[in-house]
Structure 1
Amino acid sequence: MVQQEVRKGPWTEQEDFKLVSFVGLFGDRRWDFIAKVSGLNRTGKSCRLRWVNYLHPGLKRGKMTPQEERLVLELHSKWGNRWSRIARKLPGRTDNEIKNYWRTLMRKKAQDKKRGEAASSSSSSVDSSISSNNHAVDPHASKKAGEESFYDTGGHGVTASTQDQGQKGEQGLFSMDDIWKDIDNMSEENNTLQPVYEGNSEEGCNFSCPPQVPSPSSWEYSSDPLWVMDEESLFCPLSEPYFSCYAQGSVFLTG
C-alpha cells in the first residue's frame, strides 16, 4: 500500500471545516489520531497549531488592548522570549500572536529612533552652517567705531579737511578769508575740469581747438543771435601747413 504524501503549506477552507468537525468529535487532545482519521494528510503538530492559533472559538480577533500591551511588556521584561508562558497570562491570545506583536513593536521603535537621529543630525548641521555664516568676516563691518574707510570718504586728505570744516561750522568760526578761499578753489576746479573738444571733424577738417563760447558780457550787449556762424568759419583755412589741397571733399595730408 502506497502511503500518501503529507501535505504542507497554507490550509484551505475545506481543511479547516474538517478539522473543526473532528475536534468537536474527539476533543483537542489526540492530535495524531485526529490527523489520521480525518484524512487531512497533515501531521498531528500541524493540526494542533492550526486549531490553537486560528480555529479555536475562544481566540480574540483584532488589535491588542492597551492593558494587554502593558502586560506583554511587563511579562517580557520578567520572562524574556518565553511566548507560551506569556500567552497563558493573556486569555484568547496565542504565543505566535504575542511574538508577532513584540517583533513589530521593536521594529517600529528602531525606525523611530533612526528617524530621530537623522532629524537631529540635520538640525545640527543647519545650526552650524547658520553660525558659520554669522561669524563670516565682513570687511565693511570690521571697521572700528568712529573710523572711516579711505574708499568711503575719497581719501585721507578729504576726510581731514571735511572734519575741520565740520568743526568750524559747528563752532561758527568761518572767516571771510576761509569763504573767499573756498570760492577760489571752486573756480580753479571748474577751470581744470573744462572739457577739451578734440577730434570734431567736418568734411575732412580736424579741429584741434575748443569752440569759443562768448562771455556773459557779450551775451548781454550783443544784438546778433548767439549761434549764428559764417559758413566759412566751419571750414579750416587752406593755408594750414598740414593741408596741401582741399578739393571735392577729399583731403591729402603733407608732412
Structure 2
Amino acid sequence: MVLGLVLALDPVRLGLILLMISRPRPAQSLLAYWVGAMAASVPYMLGPLMVLHVTPTFRSFAQHVASPATFASPMVRHIQIGIGVLALSVAAVMAVRFWAGQRSQLAADGGAAAPTPDSAARPPEPAPDTPRQSQSARRGLRARAHQAWVNGSSWPALMLGAASGPPPLTVLLVLTTIMASGVGIATQIGLALVWVVGMFVVVEVILVSYLAAPAKTQTILRLLHEQILAHRQQVLTSMVAAIGVAMMLYGIGGLGASG
C-alpha cells in the first residue's frame, strides 16, 4: 500500500490527471482515463502473479530482480539522475521559449501599425494547394488525434490511461512481496487488485466526489479547468520540472544512502 501511495502521488501521474481536468469534459475524461488504466493494469498484475504462482523458476528470478539491492544499485541511481537532468533541461527550454514568445507578442502588440492603402488593397495570396490525398497517413492520424483531444473525445484519455500502468520493476517488487506473505492465491489476487485501485486513488476520489456532489465537483473542476487553460504553458513546464527534480532526488538520495 505504501508503494501504491507513492505511485499515486507520482508527478507524471498527477500531471496526466491535470491534463484530463484541462479537457472540455473533465469528469468524462477522468472516467475514461481510469477505465483505460484499470483495463491495462489489472491484467498486467494478475498475469505475472499467476505465472509466478505456478512456475517456481520464474518466482526465484523475480525475487532476485525485484530485490532492494537491484533498486539501490548505482546504475539505477545514475539512470534516475540522468532522466532528471534531461527533464530539467526540457523544462528550461520550454520556459525560455515561453518567455521569448511573451516578449515577441508584447512587441508585436505595441508596434502594430495600420496597413497602408497599397497593402490593404492587395488581395491575400492564396494558400498553397495541399490536397487531402497527398497527406501522409501519420499526419492524418495525428490531426485526428489532435481534433479528438480538442473536442473532448474519450478515446485519447482511454489510451493515456492504458499507458499509465506501473513500472515493471515495481510490479515485480509488489508481486514478490504479496507472494512472500504466504496467503492463498485468492487473497493474493485481492491484494493485487487493491494495490492497482490504490495506485489511482486520486482519480477515484474525484470520481466518487462527482457521484456524491456532482454540482459542487463540476464547479471545482471547471475552476481548475479554467485556471489550467489560462496558465497551460506554465503548468506543463512546472510538471516537467517537478518530474526532473523528483528523479534527481531519488537518484542522489539513493547514492547517498548506498555510500
Instruction: Tell me the TM-score normalized by structure 1.
Output: 0.18
Structure having the higher Rg? 1
Task: From the two aligned structures, give the one with the greater helix fraction.
Answer: 2
Higher normalized strand content (fraction of residues): 1
Structure having greater relative contact order (Cα 8 Å, sep ≥ 6): 2
